[in-house]
Amino acid sequence: MVASIGHYINNKPVAGKSGRTGDITNPATGEVTAKVAFATEAEIDEAVQIAKKAQLAWAATPPLRRQRVMFNLKSLIEKHTDDLARHLSLEHGKTFDDAKGEVGRGLEVVEFACAIGHHMKGDFTEQVATDMDSWSIRQPLGVVAGITPFNFPIMIPCWMGAMAVATGNAFILKPSEKDPSAPMLLAELYTQAGAPPGIFQVVNGDKVAVDALLKHPDVPAISFVGSTAIGEYVYHTGTQHNKRVQALCGAKNHMVVMPDADLDQVTDALIGAGYGAAGERCMAISVAVAVGDIGDKLIHKLAPRVQALKIGPGLDPQSEMGPLVTRQHRDKVMGYVDQGVKEGAKLVVDGRGLKLQGYENGNFMGGCLFDHVTPDMTIYKDEIFGPVLSVVRSGNFDEAIKLVNDHAYGNGTAIFTRDGDSARAFASNVKVGMVGINVPIPVPVAYHSFGGWKASVFGDHGIYGMEGVRFYTKLKTITARWPTGIRSGAEFNFKARA
């Protein structure tokens, strides 16, 4: 029996009305497990109008009460971590432990939102002029929407939704149509946590739903995470309709390996950061830059580890890497491997021929490792979003940092070294938004903010932390005078207040 997934509107699940649906498949078996409804413009408008009415009262709710809802949500997510992770694993393909880790990373931002009363405190200045005070406050935008990708179907909705709702907005989530079950459960948890009807809603769909949100006059802000091509479209379409937009996009993350680095530590880091979640992470390391004469040593250590990866269904506790999300995406990744071979890169480990007994229809491929990759190759320039690691040789530190800086993307990067001078110079001079020093995936903790540079982002705000507070609120400054009875007449010209 194939399940039906609709939408979550006004604190309850509702069936779709369009008659258009998409297939949800189990990536390990290829089996269709559910049909998800695709919303119409009218259904999007219905959700927006419900949110618009609910938001007025929610914005007037004291922050203390709003953060109590966040505390309740935190407890519920902790209680349902295994349920959320199971949905993730069955629909995305990532391993169960990795899925639980994703829930935990989303939970960190919910925890940050539990202190929203503190984060939204304004500034006050007494006596800016005689008998005059001035203060600033931050107020919510209204109805805001989030468009989230398939690779983190719970973490990124937590990043967006918690910040939007805690700051007093109503939030409409359009999750990926490939794995919507975890977001639907998250919406139920918001209801159980005490969020009023209409404050957190989920509309499933495709481009029709995305365009309806981008163009809706009652949605002043859009958050997006996904590919650069779609992110650029979201940014330009949203801003053309006078919206505030943050679009976090693609990546090609380099790890610079200095000659003094601990190669055992480097190898462990590259295996986890390059092949975890089958490489379907915007912060995955997909390029290792071997500096000096360590390239052969690095390949010697990496190759057997890539060959030994334990690949299987996400719910198998022995699996280190699961399948890719869809057959189409797996074939696209394999096409990149074909192109790499054609363009002259050395394919040290070839995972294209992997077959798993009992899972012949699954979207599996083994880890691939390239050596002697050059910057003119397609596999170096494009975001592959799969279990493919490229090793590039670099003569010295300056060449390595130029390599990173010359790339179109600037999401994350890392350097592995024991030398403080090299690490400090790298952190100061690299043109990338998130930098790790002996840390392969430098995703900031919740009270800092996540965001890249260059083609990895459109818009000016990070996605959580104080950047998130600023994105989901607008600044208002009030200047007040309480006269003491002395009149000085009309003032027609600016003059110094002191």
For the annotated catalytic residues, the residue numbers are 282
DSSP states of 338-368: HHHHHTT-EEEE--TT---TT-TTS-----E
Q: Which two tokens stand for residue 462?
A: 């990070």
Q: Reading across the β-sheet that carries 3-5, which strands appear in turn?
A: 3-5, 32-37, 21-25
**Cα–Cα distance, 490 to 492 (Å, whole number):** 6
DSSP states of 3-66: EEE-EEETTEEE--SS--EEEEE-TTT--EEEEEE---HHHHHHHHHHHHHHHHHHHTS-HHHH
Contact indicator for 462, 450 with CB cutoff of 8 Å? yes
Could you say which DSSP state residue 445 is in?
A: P
**Cα–Cα distance, 134 to 154 (Å, whole number):** 41
User: Residue 430: which of 442, 446, 418 has the closest Cα?
Assistant: 442
**Cα–Cα distance, 118 to 263 (Å, whole number):** 44
**Cα–Cα distance, 351 to 364 (Å, whole number):** 9
Max alpha carbon distance in the chain (Å)? 90
424: number of CA atoms within 13 Å, CB side?
3
User: Residue 31: which of 105, 83, 91, 103 has the closest Cα?
Assistant: 91
Reduce the DSSP state of residue 229 to 3 states and report it.
helix
**Cα–Cα distance, 224 to 187 (Å, whole number):** 18
Give the C-alpha distances (Å, rounded to integers) separating 125 from 60, 133, 139, 456, 484.
24, 6, 19, 39, 19
